[in-house]
Copies of this chain bind each other. A is one copy, B any other.
Amino acid sequence: MTAATLLIPSQSAPVPATAPLVSRYQAVRQQTEALCRPLLPEDTVVQPMVDVSPPKWHLAHTTWFFETFLLGEYQPGYQVFHPDYAFLFNSYYNSLGSRVNRADRGTLSRPALADVYAYRTHVDAQMLALLQRQAELPESFAALLELGLQHEQQHQELLVTDIKYILSTNPLAPAYLPASADAPVSDAPGPPAAWLPVRGGVHRIGYEGAGFCFDNEQAPHEVYVADFSLQNRLVTNAEYLQFIEAGGYSDFRYWLGEGWELVQQAGWQAPLYWVRRPEGWFRFTHHGLRPLDLAAPVTHVSFYEADAYAHWAGARLPTEQEWEIAARQFHPEAAAGTFLESRSFDPQPLPADAAPDQCHQLLGDAWEWTYSAYHAYPGYERAAGALGEYNGKFMINQLVLRGGSCATPESHIRLTYRNFFHADKRWQFTGIRLAR
């Protein structure tokens, strides 16, 4: 449902100096507003499906997070900006009281967008004042501040995908950003994928470093896997198109039962945003309707589609354990994937000279569905208080995705990062990597 997860502050982590934290705070907050700049006030209000939140809500909810968990806790005598905002902008914390039904977020025209920006300005001013006296504050302050920033980065990704969905359902098919006329689109598939073998046995997974991680990446622990192989890149649009053309969407044998029911009931015949026209396949993108890029990774597929594709292709999806073991082994030092900062808003084809014996696109481009239920790691404990609701209560009926996407801020992602969505969701930048 949501990618938000909880900070377990590493005990040995050095408390960052005030100066860089102030800069990071300002940079993250400005990034959010920059993403909303191309929108009209009208765009920031609507909610065409329940999973999507209006951009105005994201702008306010992330601010409410700092107000509630930082200002409310560490600034003595802090008065909330508005007494009703906690009701309006609490997402899902039962500990913090009642709230607007999620499905009704798109019926609320007020507070005005301008009021929400005033809210941000107010909270930012207070936060910056608080940051000036960080030296006096307990260590938990820095940990919660870090969590607030990571949380806002998660909502930056959701802003990107929610904006896309909002514009996509409009019959006018408006573009979030104009496409440059000469933006290249590959009309040929790239080179075939290669299989990278991984030696099985007992491996260790989970976060062990000194930096930030979410609680669901804890604790590090041993797992046993058999030998396996992983493809060295994501499945491409060209490859997925072969599945479509081979009748993949009309043959129940490739599908899980609940997936097959959904395909029939919803009438799916291609990934979300694909449009078939007399002149060929197109996709709705942040730059409007664009021809299908054959060499680019396929995205906006549900777990059901990823799994069916894998069956059709004679392979399977990796488990999250396999993914992390392989990623630790193969991931190059310098991540070269496509992240939010590129503003390309779509996963990108591999360069022609990509080395076949390296593993590409592990971070960025598209979240990779794994065949692992999103459950707690051994020894996982929910934190006390409201933040105990951040991650733990979602650990049922969802699947783990790994690696981040083209909508993920580069500084936000890690090899141990565990994202999670229900099997039917397609509006995130979700893709496929095969294992066998």
Judge if A113 is at the interface, Cβ distance under 8 Å. yes
A103-134 with Cβ < 8 A to chain B: 104, 106-113
Of the candidate stretches A170-178, A180-188, A358-366, the one touching chain B is A170-178
Please give, as numbers and ranges, the residues of chain B lying within 8 Å of A113 by CB-CB distance. 42
Please give, as numbers and ranges, the residues of chain B lying within 8 Å of A92 by CB-CB distance. 257
Query: How far is the CB of A249 from the nearest CB of chain B, in Å?
Result: 14
Q: Are A94 and B43 in contact (CB under 8 A)?
A: no
Q: Which residue of B lies closest to A221 (CB)?
A: B226
Please give, as numbers and ranges, the residues of chain B lying within 8 Å of A397 by CB-CB distance. 258, 397, 423
Of the candidate stretches A29-37, A45-53, A237-245, A324-332, the one touching chain B is A45-53
- What is the count of identical protomers in the complex? 4
Judge if A375 is at the interface, Cβ distance under 8 Å. yes
Q: Which of B110, B304, B376 contacts A174 (CB under 8 A)?
A: B110
Q: Which of A202, A257, A375, A378 has the most chain B CB atoms closer than 10 A to its own CB?
A: A257
Q: Which of B40, B46, B100, B260 contacts A112 (CB under 8 A)?
A: B40
Show 24 A/B contacts (Cβ-Cβ < 8 Å), sorted by A: A40-B109, A42-B44, A42-B45, A42-B56, A45-B109, A46-B46, A46-B109, A84-B171, A94-B253, A95-B253, A107-B170, A108-B170, A110-B167, A110-B172, A221-B226, A222-B224, A222-B226, A225-B378, A253-B388, A255-B393, A257-B396, A372-B373, A372-B375, A373-B373
Given A108-B170, A253-B388, A259-B396, 9 more A-B residue pairs with CB atoms under 8 Å apart are A42-B44, A44-B109, A45-B45, A46-B109, A84-B172, A255-B393, A256-B394, A371-B375, A397-B423
